[in-house]
Structure 1
Amino acid sequence: MTRRQPIEVARHLVVERFPFAKQGWLGGSVVLGQATTTSDLDITVLDESAAVHRESLRFAGWPVELFVHSEASIRHFVAKDITQRKPSMARLVAKGVELLEGDGGEAVRKLCEQVLAAGPGLLSQDALAGARYALSDLVDDLRGAVPGPVCTAIAVEAWRRAGDLVLAINGHWTGGGKWLARELLSLDQASGSNWALKLHESLQHAMAGETEALEQVAEEVLDAAGGRLWEGYDQVAAVPEHGWVRD
């Protein structure tokens, strides 16, 4: 069965379910040229009359991730994402295809475009030190790891931390899962570096129990970030005024 075109389906969904929507955007893999056979439609709806929520559904044969927002909630999540250095909300709106006619949502789209273009900025010195410490500790763990489940877990975390750190020291956005790899590829394309492939290939070796290549790439990242940091690292704990709070 042939599915209808994603933009047509997304527009139909918004018009049918959100008659008072100011705007809708189809974002994600299908508009970024990264879609696979299992990709869904990421649809953001700007509707001041609807409850802010997200919903997973199927519509016209497509799996859909639906994000319903007010302008205020979009601004809130854009600001929250900046603190995490992951521009999920801004990208959905800024890179999304507009689904409704008119200039609804123009101001918030412009904000998202500006945030996305500006990047997250560089890490604070404290955050940078913490990232260097965490990756240094993982490299030591890799060197002592015995091939098996624990080694695999350490390798995956070292890959993630190294990727996060190299993106951070270049003032580049990061991401989770596939978006971490995509952000590394984006950095490489912009700067002529080769971090994505080096980390990918070294992780493959580490998953087979051969950790030396991943150790080396992680050390390269640490050198670029200011060097290894373990002995002498000191972090002041943020303790509530009346002592520790237990969950």
Structure 2
Amino acid sequence: MIDPTLSTPAEVLAAARAIVASRYPDAVFALVAGSLMRGEGTAHSDLDLIVLHDRVEASRRESFVAGGVPVEAFVHDDETLAWAIDVAATRGRPSLLALIAEATAIGRAPQRAARLKEAVAGILAKGPPPMPPAQLDALRYAITDAVQDLRGARGEAEPLAIGVLLYPLLAELALRGRGQWNATGKWVPRALARIDGALAGRFDHAFRALFASGTADAVIALAERELAPHGGMRFDGDVQVASPAWRAPAGRFGA
């Protein structure tokens, strides 16, 4: 649980400076972000850090507790951070980008931090690239497969398990299909509500019915509605070709 004395962003920033000074003394700068810095933290929030060095052998994520404060630190240099930003933008996943854009910089190179924040804010404002056709087809296929499983689900447990699988798939289609950044976990209902309150309501109603009583009709209708602008359900004629490199020595399994 978070240190209860960290009740203001200024106190969070002071704690971050102490952590960076003791754990990352050679850092060029660090970015401090997350719900605690926004003043929205709870007793279960952690402190988010992006730490930039001149050079690291490999980027890494570190989770630790310092002075009673749970910390999640993403440690990079210029090249590894540039790669991570490119991957996040290409995949339409904005969590790292949002952390950078909203963060407060500490350390010895504030101008470098400011340039980074400005560049990433521009990427966020521009929005994600269109979903590649192959990725969209794979997503449609996965949703179709889950919906068919839901139609044939038996007992009380199977619809719940399928619903857990289907929710993030449908959320990705709903968001990326509207040209928005993707979201996961607690950020999904927030992202849906931000772009379309009625859409968020349909998601909430459909999955509440499924998880509360196992009633799948609204989820199936939601899936059909979201798939329709992209060609509907996808099964007949779908082909996904593996990489030619996906081979192992023959004969080990009796074939």
Could you say which TM-score interval applies, normalised by the shorter chain?
Answer: 0.7 to 0.9
User: Among 78, 81, 88, which residue is 2:85 paired with?
Assistant: 78
For residue 32 of structure 2, give the secondary structure of its aligned residue in structure 1: strand
User: Among 60, 67, 74, which residue is 2:74 paired with?
Assistant: 67
Alignment partner of 1:141 is 2:144: no
Sort the Cα spacing of 1:205 and 1:95 in 2 relative to 1 into closer, same or farther, 3 A. Answer: same
One-letter amino acid of the counterpart of residue 187, structure 2: W
1:124 corresponds to which residue? 132
For residue 66 of structure 1, give the secondary structure of its aligned residue in structure 2: strand
For residue 107 of structure 2, give the secondary structure of its aligned residue in structure 1: coil
Report the Cα distance in structure 1 between the residues aligned to 2:175 and 2:103, rounded to whole angstroms: 24
Q: TM-score, normalised by structure 2?
A: 0.83
2:46 corresponds to which residue? 40
Aligned alpha-carbon RMSD (Å): 2.3
One-letter amino acid of the counterpart of residue 174, structure 1: N
User: Among 28, 31, 36, which residue is 1:25 paired with?
Assistant: 31
Q: Per-residue deviation at 1:110? A: 2.7
Comparing 30-39 with 164-173, which one deviates more in the overlay?
30-39
Sort the Cα spacing of 1:33 and 1:121 in 2 relative to 1 into closer, same or farther, 3 A. Answer: farther
Alignment partner of 1:115 is 2:119: no
Comparing 56-65 with 219-228, which one deviates more in the overlay?
219-228
For residue 231 of structure 1, give the secondary structure of its aligned residue in structure 2: coil
Q: Per-residue deviation at 1:129? A: 2.2
Map residues 79-118 of structure 1 onto 2, 5 A cutoff.
79-100=86-107, 102-118=110-126
8 Å CA contact 1:166–1:225 kept in 2: the answer is: no
Map residues 82-231 of structure 1 onto 2, 5 A cutoff.
82-100=89-107, 102-188=110-196, 193-207=197-211, 208-231=213-236
Report the Cα distance in structure 1 between the residues aligned to 2:13 and 2:128, rounded to whole angstroms: 30
8 Å CA contact 1:26–1:44 kept in 2: the answer is: yes
2:4 corresponds to which residue? 2
Q: Structure 2: which 5+ runs fail to align? A: 250-255
Sort the Cα spacing of 1:35 and 1:225 in 2 relative to 1 into closer, same or farther, 3 A. Answer: farther
For residue 105 of structure 1, give the secondary structure of its aligned residue in structure 2: helix
Q: Structure 1: which 5+ runs fail to align? A: none
The one-character-per-residue Cα deviations of 1:162-192 (angstroms, maximum 9, x if unpaired) are 111011111211133223333323333xxxx
The one-character-per-residue Cα deviations of 1:35-62 (angstroms, maximum 9, x if unpaired) are 3320100111112155532211112321
For residue 31 of structure 1, give the secondary structure of its aligned residue in structure 2: coil
One-letter amino acid of the counterpart of residue 25, structure 1: L
Alignment partner of 1:58 is 2:61: no
Q: TM-score, normalised by structure 1?
A: 0.86
Report the Cα distance in structure 2 between the residues aligned to 1:96 and 1:172, rounded to whole angstroms: 22
Report the Cα distance in structure 1 between the residues aligned to 2:47 and 2:224, rounded to whole angstroms: 39
One-letter amino acid of the counterpart of residue 28, structure 1: G
8 Å CA contact 1:3–1:61 kept in 2: the answer is: no
User: Among 220, 237, 243, which residue is 1:239 paired with?
Assistant: 243
Q: Per-residue deviation at 1:72? A: 1.1
Report the Cα distance in structure 1 between the residues aligned to 2:25 and 2:5, rounded to whole angstroms: 24
